[in-house]
Structure 1
Amino acid sequence: RSVMAKIFVTLHGMKSLLYKIQGAGHWKRHFASSLQKPCEVRARFAPSPTGNLHLGGLRTALYNFLFAKSNKGKFILRIEDTDQTRLVPHAARKLENMLSWAKIYPDESPVVGGPFGPYVQSQRLSLYNNYVKNLLENGSAYKCFCTNMRLTRLRNDAIRRNEIPRYDNKCRYLSQSKIEELGKNGTPYCIRFKLETITEPYEDLIYGSILSNVADHESDFVIMKTDGYPTYHLANVVDDHLMGITHVLRGVEWQISTPKHLLLYKAFGWSAPLFGHLPLIVNQDGSKLSKRQHDLHIEYYQDQGYFPEAVLNFVTDIGGGFDDREHGVVLSIEDLLEKFNLSRLTKNSCRLDKDKLEQFNQLDLQRRLNSPTDILLLISQLHDLVQKTYGERLSSSTTQAKVLTADYLKRVLIYFEKRIVRLQDLLQPEFAYIWVVPDSIPIEELPAMSCKHAEVLRCVLQVISSISNFNKERIVEEIKDVSRQYGLKIPAIMKLIRMTVTGMKEGPPVGEMLYMLGQDTAVERMKHALTLL
């Protein structure tokens, strides 16, 4: 009979979490057993090492990390590499490195180790073999000797009849003598799990009550392949049980597989963890994300100079899960932990607005510039970027080398803090004048004047070099005096100075530009320009 109740599941070190439970039988026993003794919250991120960590994977890792840590639990990283055909060399190590960059540190992992290792599935094959034997012995699974040719024929026939392709469960009904005969002949086989009808819902931590009778649209599924490797369905259930996982937060694309996993737990006689499924992340136009979108890889964000906190805020801003979140504020990982609330997670697909990432990164850049320790790190990073980009040209003169001094770099950062999103923006062509003397001056585009350009610039050079209190206001005053002396319009003389000093027709106000460059650099630029004029 169906029962409905609301209970508080209080786990060791956890806040009280309210769960609505529907159903009876195995699922009722599962939830009841969770009340019998307190236990530590243990959540996990279990990626496959098939490429770069992408935004969706980071989101899954982050929410599991936040859930575990906000409940004083443990966060586990496990590598699921049972599909050996799709492995990418060194991908597993890169995954853990990217999590570390994002300040998501596992308590247990292949690198960190832990009491429930190994944390790589290909190193746990003997464990899976033993548990498959248990399922064979209790009648929950069977050997399937069907060839790929037969399976392909079944699939093609179903498609031709406009039916859902699925296995016909033929080998479920083989006699013991037939199984022994095929085994003696060395016929290859896989292991399939016997699906059964599900009539009771399970409680999704995010979506609520879910009823899905997988037997209506699927057949007995493979849990051990012919190569001896387990499928995801078996391995993740066995590992979650052996590693004491209490909560599984994963993408909603796995929601359809959860009934299979609950049936496996039932067949083993184990209590299942609580499941919650995170909604899809989609492009702004609603289209599905693709792993071939390189600007969704976390390594791309790192290489392009985005800050970890900005990326984390970008991910969490679209998915919800937080109390009292202010707009226009970048939350630290500590803030995210403090405000995390699983019940606030959205159920709707999350649309990516990439402009938000730019906004968060700019906010975080400004925050770091106001931190005495962070600004030193930014200065060091900018130094290395400039040295790498303009190294040879910077060694051409002593004055040019001054652009690598901490004072100059700090002045540049503060001046441009509201005009850039990343440090790398300062290396774009329009900012080249900050670092190097222009290679040429577009003389043919200089403003028309009744006197020679060189004569006017020489006069400007004299007054600029003689200013004792070098500031923007004094610079502009002296330039205006020169314009009056030669009977020139202010815009014309400003354009002359900008083009000869930077090689650009447009840019920041001349007074600000010269002040930012500094008196010595401004004087050297004008001297260099005179040699070209």
Structure 2
Amino acid sequence: MLLSLFIHFSTPSRCLPIKTCKRCCQYSTGRNIHKVDTPVLLKNALPLTFNRSGGHGGKQKYIRLNSSQKRCFSSECDEVCHHHEHGEVRVRFAPSPTGFLHLGGLRTALYNYIYAKKYGGSFILRMEDTDQSRLVPGAAESIEDMLEWAGIPPDESPRGGGQYGPYLQSQRLSLYSQAADSLVQTGKAYHCFCSQQRLELLKREALRSGQTPRYDNRCRHLRPDQVEEKLDQKVPHVIRFRLESGVEPFNDLVFGWNRHEVAQVEGDPVVMKADGFPTYHLANVVDDHLMKVSHVLRGSEWLISTSKHLLLYRALGWKPPVFGHLPLLLNRDGSKLSKRQGDIYIQSFQRSGALPEALLDITTHCGSGFNSNRVGRKMEELIAEFNPSKITTHSALLDLDKLAEFNKIHLQQRIDDAVQRDWLVRDLQGRIQEVYGTQVQDQDVLQPDYITRVLHLRKGHISSVSDLVSSEYSYLWVRPSFSDQQMAALSSETQHIATLVIRLMEGLKGGEELTVDQLSVELKTLAKKTSNTKYRDVMKIIRLALSGLQVGERLTLSGLQVEEKLALSGLQVGERLALSGVQVGERLALSGLQQGPSVAEMMVSLGPSEITHRFNRVLQQLSRQH
């Protein structure tokens, strides 16, 4: 990004306009490109020294910042800060297992993973489980499961281990204690004995006077003998870090030069709690240092805390990593993604039939950081097109209504890929058994060959494999039952029509692939061979024989009516079904309630052999009647 700047000399008339990149500190006077040292921010000015010829060394002047921002003129900027001086790029995703993985967390993990693979580095998963009171059982394991399902497996993790483990913070308490003790010994931190009652009183007083609550640093001023006395008396205490003024600016990969004088607006923060567990501020600094993390890519909500973390690095005598803060992921209307929305959790998308590559594609498509922005990108393409210098500071607006489109494209790609198709077949087999259970009387419909053919035939018509276990496709897996009265009510020529259909199928068994257009023509010809049955009624008879449904009927599936909440792969009617486009409050679409597949489409999906089998059953049932 470029900042339009002016070098101010002794008089306004001698101002020299230049452009400088806030990422790489290069500036141009129009003819030449120069490199300056890391600037020091003083309000809205950058101090640089120039002589009248434009070089360094003269009287110090200030470059005043203008708000206009453009791309850097230097091609070298794209690689600035992406290679750590110690060698290997190491990034981490450090969620708290106080809940399950959601879209915002998946996006952060994805950018870290892509960054590591782009620059030949390592992707670390670390669980920040220091808030023991809020831990959710099974969440840590589920987070790692979902990362692997999504195709972004960590190189080092609690499950997989690694050189710098353990990767659960609750198993690293001695490391944090050592760091906290070191800070106390060097005077950078102190013991605080203030009670919870006193802290609550400070908070209420601040709010009553319209101020932001902050600790008043009272225990910072205790004498050593007072501290020793309270420690000897076993008075409960925490350890607070002594904030100092004079924070140095840092060059964020996304937001550029930043600095926050935290000591002016905050009280000294707690770094070690009374229960012996560290707070986030100390734990993440210690872990990032000991795990040799080179780049920290995290949400922009942590941008304001980074100056505090840099003070901790300086107090501990450690070199900090490079920071990059990713813009927020918001709903399409700009509202915050809420964890209370059940459909933002990755497990929910997995159950509903969303493909992992579709989720990765839509979360990167709505954001920035890539050389192109097109639908249908796979992981290797995302890595190849990743360009950190193109990550903008604007929030990414996620439109989940478009997920069906993304999923349909990636589903077609999977169906066309033999290895990926096998995964789809296994997934669909499980869904069929889950939804229909004992209703599947013929196990042939679970055979890979049959399911593979269905996938090929419905490719481009469905957005997810879960569509294929909805009621409108139930005929694919459950051979229908119907009464003689239902058939008789439609036509007296039902037996003749069934025979015509069987003959039609026998004529098409020679290996010729059925098409909807071909069958539509053949069915019209077939209807003309009846004496007194209209084409519309012929189609009703065929539909009834194939699916057990007539147009307009309501399907009862496992005893559940349309108006009830029908559980399909873990999703209920009242939920927002992102993949099918059904919004909150709408009824789940069942056959007969909205437009389903045509008779020709049903016949193409089933194939000649299965159609012949079903119409032979019709003939057998009618013959028993007579």
Given the two structures, how large is their TM-score scaled by the length of structure 2? Answer: 0.75
Match of 1:382 in 2: 428
Match of 1:354 in 2: 400
Measured after TM superposition, the shift of residue 275 of structure 1 is 1.0
Matched, 1:370 2:370: no
Matched, 1:435 2:477: yes
Measured after TM superposition, the shift of residue 474 of structure 1 is 6.4
Equivalent of residue 283 in structure 2, options 235, 242, 245: 235
Amino acid at match of 2:295: H
Q: Counterparts of 2:92 and 2:118 in 1: how far apart (Å)?
A: 14
With over 3 angstroms needed to count, the CA separation of the structure-2 counterparts of 1:453 and 1:21, relative to structure 1, is farther
With over 3 angstroms needed to count, the CA separation of the structure-2 counterparts of 1:58 and 1:485, relative to structure 1, is closer
Q: Counterparts of 2:240 and 2:354 in 1: how far apart (Å)?
A: 46
SS in 1 for 2:111: helix
The one-character-per-residue Cα deviations of 1:427-449 (angstroms, maximum 9, x if unpaired) are: 111111122233336967x8987
Equivalent of residue 516 in structure 1, options 594, 605, 612: 605
Equivalent of residue 415 in structure 1, options 430, 434, 457: 457
Measured after TM superposition, the shift of residue 157 of structure 1 is 1.0
Please tell me whether the aligned partners of residues 23 and 253 of structure 2 are also in contact (alpha carbons under 8 angstroms).
no
Match of 2:494 in 1: 454
Equivalent of residue 168 in structure 2, options 120, 124, 143: 120
Amino acid at match of 1:371: D
SS in 2 for 1:146: coil
Measured after TM superposition, the shift of residue 5 of structure 1 is 8.0
Measured after TM superposition, the shift of residue 455 of structure 1 is 4.8
| Equivalent runs, 1:40-439 vs 2, <5 Å | 40-198=88-246, 200-325=248-373, 327-328=374-375, 330-395=376-441, 400-439=442-481
With over 3 angstroms needed to count, the CA separation of the structure-2 counterparts of 1:509 and 1:213, relative to structure 1, is same
Measured after TM superposition, the shift of residue 212 of structure 1 is 1.7
With over 3 angstroms needed to count, the CA separation of the structure-2 counterparts of 1:208 and 1:161, relative to structure 1, is same
Please tell me whether the aligned partners of residues 476 and 511 of structure 1 are also in contact (alpha carbons under 8 angstroms).
no
Match of 1:14 in 2: none
Amino acid at match of 2:362: F
With over 3 angstroms needed to count, the CA separation of the structure-2 counterparts of 1:477 and 1:79, relative to structure 1, is closer
With over 3 angstroms needed to count, the CA separation of the structure-2 counterparts of 1:225 and 1:456, relative to structure 1, is same
Measured after TM superposition, the shift of residue 303 of structure 1 is 2.2
Matched, 1:467 2:507: yes
With over 3 angstroms needed to count, the CA separation of the structure-2 counterparts of 1:524 and 1:61, relative to structure 1, is same
Measured after TM superposition, the shift of residue 85 of structure 1 is 1.0
With over 3 angstroms needed to count, the CA separation of the structure-2 counterparts of 1:468 and 1:243, relative to structure 1, is closer
Please tell me whether the aligned partners of residues 43 and 75 of structure 1 are also in contact (alpha carbons under 8 angstroms).
yes
With over 3 angstroms needed to count, the CA separation of the structure-2 counterparts of 1:20 and 1:439, relative to structure 1, is farther
Structure 2 residues without counterparts, runs of 5 or longer: 1-6, 8-19, 26-34, 48-79, 552-594
Q: Counterparts of 1:117 and 1:246 in 2: how far apart (Å)?
A: 16
Please tell me whether the aligned partners of residues 195 and 215 of structure 1 are also in contact (alpha carbons under 8 angstroms).
yes
Match of 2:57 in 1: none
Q: Counterparts of 1:209 and 1:367 in 2: how far apart (Å)?
A: 42
With over 3 angstroms needed to count, the CA separation of the structure-2 counterparts of 1:448 and 1:64, relative to structure 1, is same
The one-character-per-residue Cα deviations of 1:245-264 (angstroms, maximum 9, x if unpaired) are: 11111011111211110111
Q: Counterparts of 2:504 and 2:227 in 1: how far apart (Å)?
A: 96
Q: Counterparts of 2:608 and 2:82 in 1: how far apart (Å)?
A: 72
The one-character-per-residue Cα deviations of 1:382-414 (angstroms, maximum 9, x if unpaired) are: 23332443343333xxxx443333333222112
Equivalent of residue 525 in structure 2, options 480, 485, 488: 480
With over 3 angstroms needed to count, the CA separation of the structure-2 counterparts of 1:518 and 1:22, relative to structure 1, is same
Measured after TM superposition, the shift of residue 229 of structure 1 is 1.0
Please tell me whether the aligned partners of residues 247 and 307 of structure 2 are also in contact (alpha carbons under 8 angstroms).
no
SS in 1 for 2:366: helix
Match of 1:13 in 2: none
Identical aligned residues as a percent = 44
With over 3 angstroms needed to count, the CA separation of the structure-2 counterparts of 1:289 and 1:465, relative to structure 1, is closer
Amino acid at match of 2:147: L
SS in 2 for 1:299: helix
SS in 2 for 1:321: coil
Amino acid at match of 1:81: D
Q: Counterparts of 1:42 and 1:488 in 2: how far apart (Å)?
A: 73
SS in 1 for 2:296: strand
Measured after TM superposition, the shift of residue 164 of structure 1 is 0.8
The alignment covers a number of residue pairs equal to: 510
Measured after TM superposition, the shift of residue 498 of structure 1 is 1.8
Please tell me whether the aligned partners of residues 441 and 500 of structure 1 are also in contact (alpha carbons under 8 angstroms).
no
Q: Counterparts of 2:36 and 2:550 in 1: how far apart (Å)?
A: 64
